[in-house]
Chain A
C-alpha cells in the first residue's frame, strides 16, 4: 500500500478540525494526516495537533491553492506514495477515502476525483448546482477535460501525480487547475461517486457563489500569463 498521507487545508476551522481529523484517522488508520494551517487567526493549529495531526503553519493566509500546493510539496519531499486531499469543514464522509483510493491501488488511475454529483445531485443546493455546472463547463472549455465535479475537495494522487503536478494558483481556482495539470502531465483520471454532507457550517465556510466569477476570470488570465 505504501505511505499514505491525507492533506487537509484549513483556515479558521478550530470548531470542526478535531472532529474531521478523528474521522479520517478512524477510517484510515495507517495514513498520516497533514493539516496545512493557512494563516488561521483562531486555534486551528492547536486543535489539529491535539487531534494527532502533523501541522504546517502558513504565516499568512494564501488560499486553498496555496495550502494544497504546500501539502503536495511536503508529500513529494517525504516520498509519500499516495496523497489524499480532504476538506476540513466536514462536508466529506471519511469512509469515502477508501473509495477514491481503490482505482489508485488497482493501478487504473493516477488521479481520482470524488464526485458529489453522481449519487448525490439532489442533495446539492440549487445555487451550488448552477455554479458547479458552470465550473464543469469552464473546465471542459479551457482544459478539454469533461468532469462531473470540478470543485470537489476529495481527491487522491499516486506518486507519479504527486511528482508531476505543479500548482500555480493560490485560491479556489486550484480545483480547476488540477484538471489542467492532469492533462498537461498526461495523467490518468478516474471519478468515483462520493457522499455530500452539506451543513450550514460547511456552506458558510465554502466558496461563495459570488466568487465564481472571480475564479473564472483568474483562470482566463492564467491562460495568457
Chain B
C-alpha cells in the first residue's frame, strides 16, 4: 500500500482536515442540518480515500469502463458541483419568496 508518496497528497490531506473541521464547527453551531453534515462528511471522506489510496479510483474507473481513476474523480466532481449549484439556486429562490412574503405582511400591516 502506497501512503503519502507525493507532497500533493500531504497538502490535500491537510486541506481535508481543515474542511472536516469547518463542517464540524458549522454543525455544532447549528448552521447546517444533520443531513447536510452527513453529506459533507461523506464527500470529504470519499476524497480522503481517493487521495490516500488513488489505486481504488482506478479500480472503480475500470469497473465503470472509464479508464483512469482521475477521470472518475473529475466526472463525479463536475456532477456534484452542478448539483450543489442547482441547490443554491433553489435556496436563493426560496429566500426571495420568503422576503416577498415578509414585504407583503409589512405592506398590508401599514394599511
Q: Which A positions have Cβ atoms within 8 angstroms of B? A: 36, 56-60, 62-63, 65-66, 69-70, 73-74, 77, 168-170, 218, 221-222, 224-225
Checking B86, B89, B107 against A59 with a beta-carbon cut-off of 8 angstroms, the contacting residue is B107
Checking B97, B99, B104, B106 against A73 with a beta-carbon cut-off of 8 angstroms, the contacting residue is B104
**A interface, over-half SS:** mixed
B96 within 8 A of partner (CB): yes
Cβ–Cβ contact B107 & A58, under 8 A = yes
For the complex formed, measure the closest distance between the CB of B14 and the CB atoms of chain A, giving whole angstroms. 37
Which residues from A are CB-within-8-Å of B107?
A: 36, 56-59, 70
Interface residues on B, range: 10 to 19
Which residues from A are CB-within-8-Å of B110?
A: 56-57
B93 within 8 A of partner (CB): yes
B80 within 8 A of partner (CB): no
Which residues from B are CB-within-8-Å of A170?
A: 96-97, 100
Tell me the bound Cα distance from A170 to B93 in angstroms: 9
Tell me the bound Cα distance from A170 to B101 in angstroms: 10
Tell me the bound Cα distance from A69 to B96 in angstroms: 14
B63 within 8 A of partner (CB): no
B73-111 vs A, Cβ < 8 Å mask (1 yes, 0 no): 000000000000010011001101101100110111011
Cβ–Cβ contact B108 & A59, under 8 A = no
Which residues from B are CB-within-8-Å of A221?
A: 86, 89-90, 93
Tell me the bound Cα distance from A68 to B111 in angstroms: 17
Apart from the given pairs A57-B110, A221-B90, 12 other A-B contacts in the complex at a CB distance below 8 Å: A56-B111, A57-B107, A58-B104, A59-B106, A60-B99, A62-B100, A66-B100, A66-B103, A70-B108, A73-B104, A224-B86, A225-B90
9 residue pairs from A and B, CB less than 8 Å apart? A56-B110, A62-B103, A66-B103, A69-B104, A74-B108, A169-B97, A170-B97, A221-B89, A222-B93
Tell me the bound Cα distance from A59 to B107 in angstroms: 7
Tell me the bound Cα distance from A177 to B96 in angstroms: 16
Cβ–Cβ contact B103 & A60, under 8 A = yes
Cβ–Cβ contact A58 & B103, under 8 A = yes
For the complex formed, measure the closest distance between the CB of A77 and the CB atoms of chain B, giving whole angstroms. 8
